[in-house]
Structure 1
Amino acid sequence: MKLKFWKKEAVKKKSVAREWGDAVMFAVVAATIIRWATFEAYAIPTSSMEKSLLVGDYLFVSKLHYGPRTPSTPLQLPLTHQTIWGTDIASYSDAIRLPSFRFPGFSEVKHNDAVVFHYPAEDNHPTDLKTYYIKRCVGLAGDTLKIREGQVYINGKVAENPRERQFEYFVSTDRVLNNDFFKQRDITEAYGAQGGYVVFTSPAKAKQLAALEFINEVALSKHEPGVAEADVFPQAPTVYKWNRDNYGPLYIPKQGATVAINAKTLPLYKRLILAYEHNENAAVHDGKLFIDGKEVNKYTFKQDYYFMMGDNRHNSLDSRYWGFVPEDHMVGKAVFVWMSVDPEAGLFDKVRWNRLFSVIE
């Protein structure tokens, strides 16, 4: 009997295009997983956290601290957020929505953490694709927060203040102060006004300005207690006469906690119950809360909530204006600045070398 020996077929070599395609696919998948589960880059677009974080800072945000969340909108182009790069075309479809779960992290949210989260008041995108915000967490779930004359109190005790917090001041002077004057004093927000300048700076720098012989006065721009700001949360000035400097007391809901629902508390917690608590049959009619068609006079929360404020206290759109941040909107903790670019500087002074790889306090 003759034995037949079969030759091994030569493995077909991949084309250059195929090899590049495989490499790109692997890189995209790897980057997507890293971005979702570990660290994500984030840029500071506004001055609400000055001087702790500057416009032009590029951060790494840790998902590991609080635990990454599974995406609830799976039909999305990789490495995009809301729109396709350079266009206004949506990069996702919400035809499929999945429940989202958070993996365990190695840390809980703490007072004064610099936190990146999804902007809660935005309703035109799914939760996991809402715009990113960064603020400092001043109030945790279960805390009672109060602000008096700009000072935050938590559970009746003075809260620790950010080292670089700023306020708005009016600098009265007869002189013309140019950009170099403010730049030399590390004041990046200064605007001309009748009789002087409006500046956003720290109390220490305000005191230094007041000591200059050509400065007539440096006055803190503050709101008096009992004078309501109509746009301050919960936007009920007839019930809550709160403003940016005098606010609360306000209870921050904790999972499992029960609050009474009445004409005074409903403005505070209505949006949470209707928008964030996933109650399919909840509604408010004539100032009363109904769930599954029945009026309720108390409510037990299903998740934790947080209260966020910017360190630039008089130039920050934060929880004082739009309310609580739900736990399922929390993204991660800002850990360090990997690059910092001054958008106002000349070509050779663009990079702020002293901020590279600095830890965020």
Structure 2
Amino acid sequence: MKQLLKAVLIAAALVVLIKVFAFTSCTIPSTGMENSLLRGERVIVNKWSYGLRLPLMGMTGYHRLAARGVERGDIVLFNNPAGKGTIDRRELFINRCIGLPGDTLMLNGQLIQTRDQVLSPDSKLVYAYPGEQEDLVVEAMRRVGIGDNKLVGFDRGDFLRSFSHYEIYLMRQELRGQVTFRSLQTDTADGVHPFVVPARGKAVKVYPWNAKLLCNTIVQHEGRQARLQGDTLWVDGRRVTSYTFKKDYHWVASNNSVSLCDSRLFGFVPDDHIIGRASLIWFSKDTEEPFWHGFRWKRFFRLVQ
């Protein structure tokens, strides 16, 4: 009897050690990752995929052994960035990483990634507009503070000027449809803007379209006081036009855009919230069929892609 009890205790201890320091299992709670992971499937998460995040963060802080970066396209398990309390005790989410630290994503008004050309907010494109509206354009440039922007050419009665994404945003806001600007290169759809995913030690410029997201990130994860006044960001009582982040962040998305349990809901995911990569599906059943004949044994131990 003692030998049996000893064996049970050793086995239990090994299971706990493996779960804490090597692998864990989680159940997919929703349909947000369908086509890759189905609701009710159980997956194994490798805690060493990005280096082991040491437990007891509430006591010892954030430490990661053999740290390495997430790869674009990985399905990652992480703690809720918008949760309360100690990070490693928060609710778990699982999503696909589509934006790495330093990446620029083209997101629309719903913060969904688009197929538009990825460009810097300050990259220049050449725009054409009717020559008879030159006075309106020059006056608008003066009002929004765009100086030293000379004509770059003419095209069948149109005047040509180069504007950055931010400058053309300001011009369109200022002119309110009075002037139609036509890009001679690949332009982005209306309402689509470049969002830079913050990286440790790098400054991110503040624009009207990213100010709220940056403000929330600074308050929740950088430990600073921040607020918005219109489109202006204030940090620790000072107006800022850019902010240098202390952490690496990621942008994650559901496979199913209807599911809002991704970065559209809770914003950027800091590196200290990431647990590991979903590597293997070890249990699956067809939730659309009755329990007693819905098992799909051929789906057991399927690699997560």
TM-score (norm 2): 0.66
Map 1:142-291 to 2 at 5 A.
142-147=102-107, 152-153=114-115, 156=118, 248-261=193-206, 265-279=210-224, 282-284=225-227, 288-291=233-236
Of residues 271, 288, 295, the one that matches 1:344 is 288
**1:37 lines up with 2:21 in the alignment:** yes
Q: Which residue of 2 aligns with 1:112?
A: 73
Of residues 319, 338, 344, the one that matches 2:263 is 319
Shift of 1:331: 0.9
Shift of 1:289: 2.7
| Unaligned ranges ≥5, structure 1 | 1-15, 74-95, 158-244
SS of the equivalent of 1:345 reads: coil
**Mapped partners of 1:258, 1:274: distance in 2:** 16
Q: Which residue of 1 aligns with 2:83?
A: 122
Paired residue type of 2:227: V
**Mapped partners of 1:318, 1:353: distance in 2:** 30
SS of the equivalent of 2:64 reads: coil
Partners of 1:41 and 1:58 within 8 A in 2: yes
Q: Which residue of 2 aligns with 1:223?
A: none
**1:357 lines up with 2:288 in the alignment:** no
Partners of 1:253 and 1:301 within 8 A in 2: yes
Of residues 31, 37, 48, the one that matches 1:64 is 48
Paired residue type of 2:63: F
Q: 1:154 to 1:258 in 2, by over 3 A?
A: farther
Shift of 1:339: 0.9
SS of the equivalent of 1:311 reads: coil
Paired residue type of 1:117: F
State the structure with bigger RCO (CA 8 A, min sep 6), 1 or 2.
2
Encode CA deviations 1:164-204: one digit per residue, 9 max, x unaligned. Answer: xxxxxxxxxxxxxxxxxxxxxxxxxxxxxxxxxxxxxxxxx
- The share of aligned pairs that are identical, in percent, is 31
Encode CA deviations 1:258-295: one digit per residue, 9 max, x unaligned. Answer: 1345766531211221221244xx3437565343xx52
Shift of 1:348: 3.7
Encode CA deviations 1:190-233: one digit per residue, 9 max, x unaligned. Answer: xxxxxxxxxxxxxxxxxxxxxxxxxxxxxxxxxxxxxxxxxxxx
Q: 1:285 to 1:312 in 2, by over 3 A?
A: closer
Q: Which has the higher helix share?
A: 2
* Equivalenced residues, count: 231
SS of the equivalent of 2:220 reads: helix
| Unaligned ranges ≥5, structure 2 | 120-189
Paired residue type of 2:101: A
